[in-house]
Amino acid sequence: MSTSVRNLKPAALWNYFADLNHVPRASKKEEKVIQFMVDFGQSLGLETKTDKVGNVIIRKPATKGMEGKKGVVLQSHLDMVHQKNNDTVFDFDTQGIDMFLEGDWVKAKGTTLGADNGIGVATIMAILASETIPHPALEALFTIDEETGMTGAKGLEAGWLNGEILLNLDTEEDDEIDIGCAGGLDVTATKSYTMHRIDHSACTGLLISVKGLQGGHSGIDIHLGRGNANKILNRLVYDLESLGLRLFTFEGGSLRNAIPRESSAVVSIPVGKKNDVLDILNNRKHDIQKEFMSLEKNLLIDWSEVESPIFVMDMEEQKTLLKAIYAAHNGVFRMSPDIKDLVEASNNVAKIEVKDGQAKILCLTRSSVESSKTDVALSLRSCFELAGFDVVFSGDYPGWTPNIHSPILEVLTHLYEKMNGQKAHVVACHAGLECGILGKNYPEMDMISFGPTIKGAHSPDEKVNIPSVEKFWNFTCAILQDIPDKNMNE
């Protein structure tokens, strides 16, 4: 890892971020980072606990003169999305993230950076360790598994937290103050299918690949219209079916919350149709690249000859599968009629795995309105069940309803304008934040979310803006000094 990151300002924050990025912390595999955080809290002599699901809570008493202020919960999640480029050799379980500087940005070499939500975690660590930053009584809440189910937030029981205000440090534009977010629901469609032996000596095998897409966060970036590798690949395979294409495997995407950047299929085509197939592929490649020209400049559609498979999917089942993938909604489903430019509901066709007689399709449906979230999910269920799939809903979590009368919102908006000479954008986002879930057990807690500028989250293009981190740090420290008194009339 480049030591240049450790020389950035504020030094404490960046050094804790560098330390954190040495620790493997994939969702649902957080054992090492939980222990890392427990050791950190105990090394400071602070009360440090873990709950039954693995969340870590560190408490720090108020500094002198701040005892009469409302208690504050500083909250970020420990896990990060582990994604890498196909040509990057990297083991997330053993290697630290390899960071480097490029202009005003910190990036990682061929992998996700972990700024989501590592910058928030590092900020809280620096505040806990500081002996000079004035603050009220603090509870640092480090949740687990935010990225793949929010099971940490869901598992946090009532009574663990005493603070009256929660500052969630997990949004990604430094001029925004977030007061609401979307809820989410995992949709999983599975199906067994029959495989038939073919005369592979009369066939040519092709490996068809879609690569080079930007991908990104399936909530924050879904409105940008970026290419979905699974949907693009399905278009190609679907168009070739009339020429006798037979499907062997179809594999693309990885995580539900990441727009798929790469997808590939191994197919068999009749030898006599090879030239016709290649002509169609060339034409479709040209059409699709032109279609995405302004968005996906590095889109690569490629194919190469491979040994023809001996077994392929049953033809009728293949037709049904490809039609189902085609019909499954991907992208924005509805824009909010109430909040300008906010995506209300969407779906990400995140991962497809078709091989060895089993087909599996993973989607993540999001909405800030529960009824429209259900509507999208049921439309997907209908599509897949018509194609003979078994469909399961799981991982349901609620959205966070905006409160424009929030007392802490008034503190933040006033302070932001005072510090920056302009007003912050008060927004709701289409990502899933933990505030809505935490609010179930702590309904009286006043919650707000903000963060530095992070681009490309959930993809190997992830980067964090260096000046915005310092801006975010100064803002956070100033907020802690401006927390209202406990007896203030709200």
Give the active site residue among 30, 139, 145, 146: 146
Pairwise CA distance, residues 386 & 243, whole Å = 25
362 in Cβ contact with 253 (< 8 Å): yes
Q: Is 178 helix (H, G, I), strand (E, B) or coil?
A: strand
Q: Give all strands of the β-sheet with 99-102 in edge-to-edge order.
A: 99-102, 105-108, 463-465, 454-455
Choosing from 79, 172, 174, 317, which is the catalytic residue?
79
Other C-beta atoms closer than 10 Å to the C-beta of 300 total 13
| Active site (annotated) includes residue 485 | no
Task: Return d(Cα 261, Cα 216) in angstroms, integer.
Answer: 8
* Tokens coding 371: 């009824």
> In this structure, what is the dihedral angle of CA atoms 89, 92, 93, 98, given to the nearest 10 degrees?
90
> Which residues are within 8 A (CB) of 84 and not within 5 positions of it... i.e. 6 or more apart?
90, 92, 110, 111, 112, 460
Q: Read out DSSP for 345-361?
A: EEEEEEEEEEETTEEEE
344 is catalytic: no
Q: Which residue type is seen at 366?
A: R
Place of tokens 């995140």: 350
CA–CA gap between residue 450 and residue 75 (Å, rounded): 11
Secondary structure class of 401 (helix, strand, coil): coil
**Residues facing 191 on adjacent strands:** 359
Calculate the dihedral angle through the C-alpha atoms of 266, 270, 272, 275, rounding to the nearest 10 degrees.
-20
HSE at residue 331, side-chain half, CA atoms within 13 A, is: 12
What are the residue numbers of the active site? 79, 146
